[in-house]
Amino acid sequence: MALVTGAGQGMGRAVAERFAAEGAAVVLVDLKADRLVEVESRLRGAGARIESRALDVSDESAVQALVAAVVAAHGRLDILVNAAGIIHPTRFDQLSVREWDTVMQVNVRGTFLFMHEAYPQMKRQGKGSIVNFSSTAGLTVSTLGGAHYTASKHAVMGLTKAVAKEGGPFGVRVNAVCPGLIDTEMVRATVDAERIAGYQAAFPIDRLGTPGDVADLVLFLASDRSAYITGVGVNISGGDLL
């Protein structure tokens, strides 16, 4: 039983699709209900076991209710993927407190809330895998800018490591993926085509990553094939940080 946030588009959608193709039952979570309807309909048509719920990942009561409902219905929660996130490349001297709070609410609070609700169930089971979405910004500084985005992704990495250390003795593994510039709707809406071309030409692997590239890594980290890996942030950026 897997739960994937940010599943309505981009990397989260690719992760949900990959899990479904592997035969997992998947709960899709996204803020936008219309995105979920399209993904759920398509995956159900292919025979996948899919449920969906539109909610704000920073809404504590909504997150609590959803995780409780999933556990009540299925008896367990094996995998949690926190892919929901937002980016604003605002320069620091133009950054408002409101925008800072918005990015932190989604990227950090949302990740924390789902982990906070899923972790006790995984402890009771004696097994579980959590995969968080940090970023290469969580290892260094955002390529696209935005001090608040960089700070939020460093926070996700810290949260990942701390809970991995606590959860290891109970069979709960926690890891993070750290994507670089991935060809998603969010990136295309944030960066113009000329800048994207300049970035990718500078990468040792001279293309943008695809959501499928990231989904393959998430599948590995969520599965028993990575049973001896916890507390790491895996850079997937085409060599951008070299």
Active site residue 149: yes
Tell me how far apart the alpha carbons of residues 105 and 151 are, in angstroms, rounded to a whole number: 12
User: Considering 119, 149, 199, 228, which one is annotated as catalytic?
Assistant: 149
The answer to whether residues 104 and 152 touch, using CB atoms and an 8 Å cutoff, is yes
Contacting residues for 24 by C-beta, under 8 A, at least 6 apart? 1, 2, 49, 79
The answer to whether residues 157 and 176 touch, using CB atoms and an 8 Å cutoff, is yes
The answer to whether residues 107 and 56 touch, using CB atoms and an 8 Å cutoff, is no
Burial class (CB in 10 A: 0-12, 13-18, 19+), 225: exposed
Backbone conformation region of residue 146, classed left if phi is above 0, alpha if psi is from -120 to 50, else beta: left
User: For 52-79, b where at least 16 C-beta lie within 10 A, e where not — what string?
Assistant: bbbbebbbeebbeebbeebbeeeeebbb
**Which pair of tokens denotes residue 70?**
């999933």
The owner of tokens 């990136």 is 187
The answer to whether residues 52 and 3 touch, using CB atoms and an 8 Å cutoff, is no
* Catalytic residue positions, numbered: 149
